[in-house]
């Protein structure tokens, strides 16, 4: 029987908890929110709610930290004072890994984790235990311990990939942080171009706007923390995006159809290649 | 019996042609591509393929120009030489309206049109006659003639809304052109941050990237023309987007969690309001 503890039972944490359930595992949950804890137990997301200071925490097989980044960092500090069993593997599902690996320095059995899935929905009711299936799940740390973690995470059926923290953060900036910043900024910019719902724009958008800005509905506190925890890399990414926008602007000012078409054709080619791998 | 002619039988034009069919209408199609014409007839998208110089064109009840913007502009020139019947209403489904209205000056019965729907798919095979149902369809021109056009377009079941060309173009820049530019530039920027598929980024993206960049797969020639036809307004929009990105960058550099969270919360609030109207 494996003892697995998931700390933070929001949409992501609850999905992990439910996804890890097997006949040979016992899943415990920790969460600050009483209503979430109640749902977690009554809907069998976890077997039991416990406290962070419980004996179970010190002797668990796996502890998954699934709250916002700063909470993960606080919990990593706390776990370092708790005399965990040498068998206990600790992981997280926060985004940025360099800062987290730094915070986890005193935990010998910590492996950083980051499943490449997400949701703009908040809370335990929006869990989906199948969201990890076939999706990349990046792990950062010692290769022997990665093997142990991979076995424990097997019920999620994700595609576990080892990566360095630096490479991970560069990758995540590009493919996750930057799309979020672009979606946030696009909505802000349109609201300024057409303030107070001028021309009824909010009722006139088509599918392009809807899709492009879907992730602008993500949790503000969570995303502010994610972006700040990876800020050097995100600032680089924003600079690159602004450079690219500047090129589009220049092609327009120069009335340069050829150059503009080339930029777009290049974007289309790259995006279609991604689509072939994913859709 | 109404005689309706659709010029340009790509994904959008073919959708209009099929959507306009009623027991009391006869739909004719015009297209340069022989394969498209063949499909249009064999799959009953139109009743018959004709040429632009046909008597039918001069006496049609409705002519819908559904090609790319420059082709629409050429066709508007041609139609001005053709002695159309005083009963013939001409419209288009191109994007930008100011330039098109200018090109159509010599056609007394021209009403500019722009259904707020689109597809990143190309060609007659990707038609969908129901794509207009319930969606805004902007029309620009004389109010009496708008009434006539509205009656003719009734089978599409769209939400016909009169607007000025200037207001239309400002609106469309914000809610359609700018999301496209953002999606194109985002893909270009990521490809530069991680060139040659570094770190396997193309296989590691999640739903956020997929949605945010879906419209980057749009037709490059078509979109280059759309953006150029509306370039002053699009350049303004790009400037606004860059200003907004600059604010995100500054909040990150200042490590200003409060300001960053406020920007994101504002974006979320606006986007959710749009979502309530559309999803």
Structural contact between residues A85 and A58, judged by C-beta atoms closer than 8 angstroms = yes
Structural contact between residues A205 and B180, judged by C-beta atoms closer than 8 angstroms = no
- Residue A28: name the closest of A11, A12, A82, A55 by CA: A55
Q: Which two tokens stand for residue A171?
A: 């990758």
A186 touches chain B (CB under 8 A): yes
- Coil/strand/helix, residue A277: helix
Q: For the sheet containing B110-115, what is the strand order? A: B48-49, B25-30, B2-7, B62-65, B89-92, B110-115, B136-140, B159-162
In a 13 Å sphere around the CA of B172, the CA atoms on its Cβ side amount to 30
* More confident site: A68 or A89: A89
Contacts of A117 (CB under 8 A, 6+ apart): A131, A132, A135, B206, B207
Radius of gyration over every alpha carbon of chain A, rounded to an integer in angstroms:
21
Strand partners, B111: B91
Contacts of A209 (CB under 8 A, 6+ apart): A190, B175, B176, B179, B274
Number of Cβ atoms within 10 Å of the Cβ of B44 = 11
Cβ distance B273 to A202 less than 8 Å, yes or no, reads: yes
What's the mean per-residue pLDDT of chain B? 95
Cβ distance A275 to B225 less than 8 Å, yes or no, reads: no
pLDDT at A95: 83
On the question of pLDDT at B84 being above 80, the answer is yes
C-alpha distances in angstroms, A53 versus A112, B54, B90, B99, B256?
22, 85, 75, 69, 33
Confidence of residue B274 (pLDDT cuts 50, 70, 90): very high
Confidence of residue A172 (pLDDT cuts 50, 70, 90): very high
User: Residue for token digits 């307004």?
Assistant: B233
Q: Which residues in chain A are contacts of B117 at CB distance < 8 A?
A: 206-207
On the question of pLDDT at A118 being above 90, the answer is no
Query: How many residues are listed for chain B in this entry?
Result: 279
What's the mean per-residue pLDDT of chain A? 95
Confidence of residue B208 (pLDDT cuts 50, 70, 90): very high
Structural contact between residues A25 and A17, judged by C-beta atoms closer than 8 angstroms = no
The ipTM value here is 0.83
Cβ distance B211 to A215 less than 8 Å, yes or no, reads: yes
On the question of pLDDT at B91 being above 90, the answer is yes
Q: Which residues in chain B are contacts of A210 at CB distance < 8 A?
A: 274-275, 278-279
Tens-place pLDDT, residues A220-266: 999 999 999 999 999 999 999 999 999 999 999 999 999 999 999 99
A188 touches chain B (CB under 8 A): yes
Structural contact between residues A37 and A29, judged by C-beta atoms closer than 8 angstroms = yes
- Residue B115: name the closest of B166, B156, B67 by CA: B156
Rounded Cα gap, residues B256 and B263, in angstroms: 11
Q: Which residues in chain A are contacts of B161 at CB distance < 8 A?
A: 204
Helix (H) or strand (E) holding A223: helix A220-229
Of B118, B182, B201, the CB nearest to A212: B182
pLDDT at A119: 76
Cβ distance A205 to B175 less than 8 Å, yes or no, reads: yes
- Secondary structure string (H, E, C) spanning chain B: CEEEEEECCCHHHHHHHHHCCCCCEEEEEECCCHHHHHHHHHCCCCCEECCCCCHHHHHCCEEEECCCHHHHHHHHHHHHCCCCCCCCEEEECCCCCHHHHHHCCCCCCEEEEEECCCCCCCCHHHCCCCCCCCCEEEEECCHHHHHHHHHHHHHHCCEEEECCHHHHHHHHHHHHHHHHHHHHHHHHHHHHHCHHHHHHHHHHCCHHHHHHCHHHHCCHHHHHHHHHHCHHHHHHHHHHHHHHHHHHHHHHHCCCHHHHHHHHHHHHHHHHHHHHHHC
pLDDT at B36: 98
B71 touches chain A (CB under 8 A): no
pLDDT average, residue stretch B215-231:
94
Please, what's the b/e burial string for A174-187 (b: 16 or more CB within 10 A of its CB; e: otherwise)?
A: bbbbbbbbbbbbbb
What are the structural domains, with CATH classification, of chain B? Answer: 2-163 (3.40.50.720), 167-278 (1.10.3660.10)
Confidence of residue A181 (pLDDT cuts 50, 70, 90): very high
For CA atoms B80, B83, B84, B85, the dihedral sign is positive
Of B179, B212, B215, the CB nearest to A179: B212
**Minimum distance, in Å, between the CA of residue B204 and any CA atom of chain A:** 6
Cβ distance A201 to B175 less than 8 Å, yes or no, reads: yes
Tens-place pLDDT, residues A24-62: 999 999 999 999 999 999 999 999 999 999 999 999 999
C-alpha distances in angstroms, B15 versus A59, A96, B96, B132?
63, 45, 20, 9
Q: Which residues in chain A are contacts of B272 at CB distance < 8 A?
A: 217
pLDDT at B13: 97
Structural contact between residues B57 and B86, judged by C-beta atoms closer than 8 angstroms = no
User: Residue for token digits 């036809």?
Assistant: B229
pLDDT at B95: 83
A167 touches chain B (CB under 8 A): yes
Tens-place pLDDT, residues B111-152: 999 998 877 788 999 999 999 999 999 999 999 999 999 999
Q: Which residues in chain B are contacts of A218 at CB distance < 8 A?
A: 264, 268
- The DSSP symbol for A194 reads S
Q: Which two tokens stand for residue B5?
A: 């002619």
Tens-place pLDDT, residues B245-263: 999 999 999 999 999 999 9
pLDDT average, residue stretch B207-230:
94
């Amino acid at each position: 029987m494996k003892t697995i503890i998931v700390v933070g039972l929001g949409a992501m944490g609850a999905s992990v908890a439910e996804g890890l359930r097997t006949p040979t595992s016992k899943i415990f949950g920790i969460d600050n929110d009483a209503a979430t804890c109640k749902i977690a137990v009554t809907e069998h997301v976890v077997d039991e709610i416990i406290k962070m200071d419980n004996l179970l925490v010190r002797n668990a097989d796996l502890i998954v930290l699934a709250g916002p980044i700063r909470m993960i960092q606080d919990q990593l500090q706390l776990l370092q004072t708790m005399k965990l069993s040498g068998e206990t593997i600790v992981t997280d599902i926060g985004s940025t890994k360099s800062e987290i690996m730094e915070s986890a320095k005193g935990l010998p059995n910590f492996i950083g984790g980051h499943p490449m899935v997400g949701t703009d929905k908040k809370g335990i009711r929006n869990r989906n235990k199948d969201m990890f299936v076939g999706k990349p799940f990046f792990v950062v740390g010692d290769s022997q311990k990665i093997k142990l973690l991979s076995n424990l995470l097997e019920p999620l059926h994700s595609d576990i990939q080892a990566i360095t923290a630096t490479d991970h953060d560069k990758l995540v900036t590009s493919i996750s942080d930057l799309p979020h910043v672009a979606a946030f900024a696009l909505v802000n910019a349109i609201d300024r171009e057409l303030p107070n719902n001028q021309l009824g724009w909010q009722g006139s958008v088509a599918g392009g706007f809807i899709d492009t800005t879907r992730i602008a509905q993500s949790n503000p506190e969570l995303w502010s923390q994610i972006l700040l925890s990876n800020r050097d890399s995100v600032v680089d990414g924003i600079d690159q995006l602004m450079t690219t926008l500047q090129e589009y602007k220049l092609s327009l000012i120069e009335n340069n159809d050829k150059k503009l078409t080339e930029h777009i054709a290049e974007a289309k080619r790259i995006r279609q290649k991604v689509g072939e791998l994913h859709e």
